[in-house]
Amino acid sequence: MRLRKLLGFALVLLIFPTLAGAKSKTYNEATIEKLDGTIMVQRNDGSKPFAVQTGTTLQKGDILTVYDKSWVIFKTHKGDRIGLDSNTTLVIDEYFIEGPDRQIRFLLQKGTLFLRTNGCGSRQSFFEINSGSLVTAINDTQAILSYEPGKDHLRVQYLYGKLSVVDKDNERKFSDMHTERNWEGGKMVESADTVIPVEELDVLNYNRFYSGDTRLTAASNNILMPEK
């Protein structure tokens, strides 16, 4: 009877090898999910920049440049969806995913970043966006980050989830949904108790961005019109 049980267990391990203690797979690449317009990537090996397409993989060291009237969304193996809007430059400074761990760092050099990310509870995990002297730390988050390097101005429009910004003075945690804050020169512009609501149009366009629908602009008569 015991021999029969051992043979049965060995058969299970042959059919399901992960039960034998197979290691978690490591992912060092993200994948372009959607795009429109011209988006170029520069690898860190010095090779010639090339235009990305749906399915193009991105890796540590890549520099993404999104040209005027263009946008792109790429996806991680944890299901995080990161969007870059028109006139945005982003460096993938760190990118590593294995099992419960997610270690990602972006350098937002200029432009607008859309974030729709999942949670990650591992202590070894981090997801950071550096903008000048500021570090934005996120977990399960829906948010928009806009950075102007000439003014060293960062605007964070927080919609949901866990997000904080570390500036020259403190760590600023967001808790009130659909609010925004601004920084210039590494310091927060508003007082800590000031609450600025995110414009309803920005929330609407955030959702339209991810669904691939044409975004809207507010006309002078307050009628929403498709963005040209």
Residue 148: which of 117, 178, 189 has the closest Cα? 189
Q: pTM of the predicted model, to two decimals? A: 0.86
Helix (H) or strand (E) holding 55: none
Which residues is 154 bridged to in the sheet? Answer: 147, 183
The domains located in the chain, with CATH, are 26-226 (2.60.120.1440)
Taking only the tens of pLDDT, the chain with its 228 residues reads 555 554 554 554 454 544 444 567 999 999 999 999 999 999 999 899 999 999 999 999 999 999 999 999 999 999 999 999 999 999 999 999 999 999 999 999 999 999 999 999 888 999 999 999 999 999 999 999 999 999 999 999 999 999 999 999 999 999 999 999 999 999 999 998 898 999 999 999 999 999 999 999 987 655 566 665
pLDDT the model gives residue 5: 52
Residue 15 DSSP SS3: helix
DSSP 148-183: ETTTTEEEEEEEEEEEEEE-SS-EEE--SSSEEEEE
Helix (H) or strand (E) holding 3: helix 2-15
Residue 143: which of 81, 68, 95, 69 has the closest Cα? 81
- Is the dihedral angle over the CA atoms 205, 111, 228, 49 positive or is it negative? negative
Question: 96 and 119 in contact (C-beta within 8 Å)?
Answer: no
pLDDT the model gives residue 24: 75
How many helices (H) and strands (E) in the chain?
A: 2, 19
pLDDT the model gives residue 13: 45
pLDDT the model gives residue 151: 95
pLDDT the model gives residue 192: 86
